[in-house]
Chain A
Amino acid sequence: MTATRLAFRGAVVFTYLLMLVPVAMVMLISLFNDEIVSFPPSGFTLHWYMNAWARSEFATGFVISAQVALMATVIGVPLGTAAALALARSSIPAKGAIGTLLLGPLAVPGVVAGTALYLFYLTIENGLDQDVVGTMPGLVGAHILLTIPWTVRVVTASVQGLDLVVEEAAANLGARPWTVFRRVTLPMLRPGIVAACMFSFIQSFENLELTLLLVGPGKTTLPVAMLNYLEFRMDPTLAAVATIQILIVAALMVITDRFVKLSRVV
């Protein structure tokens, strides 16, 4: 093998290690016996998983995170898809600006967006005399700021790959515009939409910075619950919770890949 190929192979292996070693370490640590993480570990145990399960804030956090992620995805993906189609196909004069605006939340640091949203919610609370911070609608509303941009980004690529000629063929065969959309455009966009659902769900589930200021008693997401736990303890329970999350996300990706070749969409 030539020196260049060797170097290339080496770089690829190094990159994989860089990405996977931290993840592997977390999964490993979750099994260590000692309360204070040390190398080498004195033994292995599943004790921390039991602990995680027993602590109500993690169980609740898991449920809340899942609910918020689900609702944010269900609302955000259709809206984002509609936006992606409109941006790619219409000739609205401001569409460049609108596109940038829709992708904006991805560029803003999470804490900045979270703080701004917090202040905004406070203003609404004063105006409407209704609680917003610490409520499900408040959380879902904030997470839609994540799901819409992600959907627009992923689906736009799909839309641009669509050949309009196929839609013309459908029209020529007697399909009215809505039927063309339902029977031809949407099915052809399916890979992109499925990928958008997956990314949106994961981004929402795992989000910390945006959510931090918007949680309330009984309405805390899993990542925030984990951060709170860290304030008082630093034992492998967190590693256990993290491992469970990693496995769930990995499972989601594998399942999605069965429907949609992820390598083709991302």
Chain B
Amino acid sequence: MGTLLLKGLRKEYGTAVAVQQVDMEVGQGELVSLLGPSGCGKTTTLRMVAGFIEPTKGTVVIGGRDVTRTPPYARQTGMVFQSYALFPHMSVAGNVGFGLEMRKVGRAERDSRVAEALDLVRLGHLADRLPRQLSGGQQQRVALARALVVNPAVLLLDEPLSNLDAKLRAEVRDEIRSLQQRLGLTTLMVTHDQEEALTMSDRLVVMEGGRVRQIGTAEDLYEDPADTFVADFVGRCNLVPGTIEGDALRSGGGDLLPCDVRGATGDATVLALRPERIALRPGPDGTGLPARLSNILYLGAQTEYRLELGGTTLTAIRPTPARTDPLHELRPGDTVRVSWDRVAGRLLPV
């Protein structure tokens, strides 16, 4: 029964606090990602779960068992390291079979389980090769097979896609996710790449400066960010500081922007508005706020519009207009009218 529970996990190095406090859980068969920039404490947290770092405070519970003081070799976790960490002096089969050897699995059973695991990652034909004879992508699949073959209670992935070139990434991403779901493996993943996290995870834990900023599904984090860090880190977001005036926000630049004032605490706040929520209408007249187009970026399927409203800059992203669409004729310097649903304008604490 593989579930993971972290309670009050904290790590201090002298006076420096690498991880302030992590409380979270990963349910059976769930893939949860720790997402955040470098230095946010996500890798330290993962290593505390693996047992390589001893927490200063707090507990790690795997499958109902408190393993906080248990050494790594007794924890029932399977880890895939960022650099794969394959044993250079052993063949692919030797690498994959190592965990089974440690568990005193007999030769015959070991061979068949290794073959099974290699088939799962489609490397059966390379069983006798040495790691240095494999490509990066192949090495990673060996590392994955090696962790999977021991049926770990919790699978730990440390930046699994970061060493792969862009083309391979999407492919491997889908492979890992489908394998994980097929085997029902409880998984904790660390990444700094939000696309990776958003597409693979059941839930995400956004971390920054050693603290957990928000935990939720991709939709939770995108639609209801808890603070400006999450809003900015997960996807793109217009963030406009200002004060509340009636049912709108008076921006620092002096513009009055419609927003959802419910749930606003205090006068000083930040408006968070996703770029794709802003609607544009050409021409100086019409409903909405007037804005001057300072830049247009053609991105293929989408087009990015840089808008200057009085004293505030906003970025809008729209599907690229067809040639018959009047929006297609917009050029930098033109005046347009912008508007958005009031509820799309969320207010976040400063």
A residues lining the B interface (CB < 8 Å):
163, 165-166, 168-176, 179, 183-184, 187-188, 190
Contacts and interface: CB of A to CB of B under 8 A. Distances in A.
B320 to A, nearest CB: 45
Which secondary structure characterizes the binding site on chain A?
helix
Given A166-B85, A187-B89, 5 more contacts: A168-B52, A168-B85, A171-B72, A174-B99, A175-B98
A165 B99 contact: no
Contacts of B75: 172
Contacts of A179: 102
B77 interface: yes
Contact of A169 (B51, B79, B89, B150): B79
A163 B77 contact: no
B161 to A, nearest CB: 18
Nearest to A174: B102
Given A163-B85, A184-B87, A187-B89, A170 B77 contact: no
**B contact residues, range:** 20 to 34
Nearest to B79: A172
B203 interface: no
Contacts of A190: 89
Q: For A173, A176, A190, which residue has the most chain B Cβ atoms within 10 angstroms?
A: A173
Given A163-B83, A173-B99, A173-B150, A168 B89 contact: no
Contacts of A176: 71, 73
A174 B52 CA distance: 13
Nearest to B89: A187
A173 B89 contact: no
A147 B72 CA distance: 36
B102 A175 contact: yes
B182 interface: no
Contact of B103 (A166, A168, A174, A184): A174
Contacts of B77: 172
B245 to A, nearest CB: 56
Contact of A173 (B71, B83, B102): B102
Given A175-B73, A175-B102, A170 B87 contact: yes
Q: Which 3 A-B pairs have the closest CB atoms?
A: A174-B102, A173-B99, A169-B85
B50 interface: yes
A64 B4 CA distance: 64
Nearest to A180: B73
B268 to A, nearest CB: 47
B77 to A, nearest CB: 6
B146 interface: yes
Contacts of B73: 171-176
A173 B50 CA distance: 11
B78 interface: yes
A168 B88 contact: no
A117 B151 CA distance: 60
Nearest to B143: A169
Nearest to A173: B99
Contact of A165 (B71, B78, B81, B146): B81
A193 to B, nearest CB: 13
A177 to B, nearest CB: 8
A176 B73 CA distance: 6
Contacts of B146: 169, 173
B78 A170 contact: no
Contacts of A183: 98
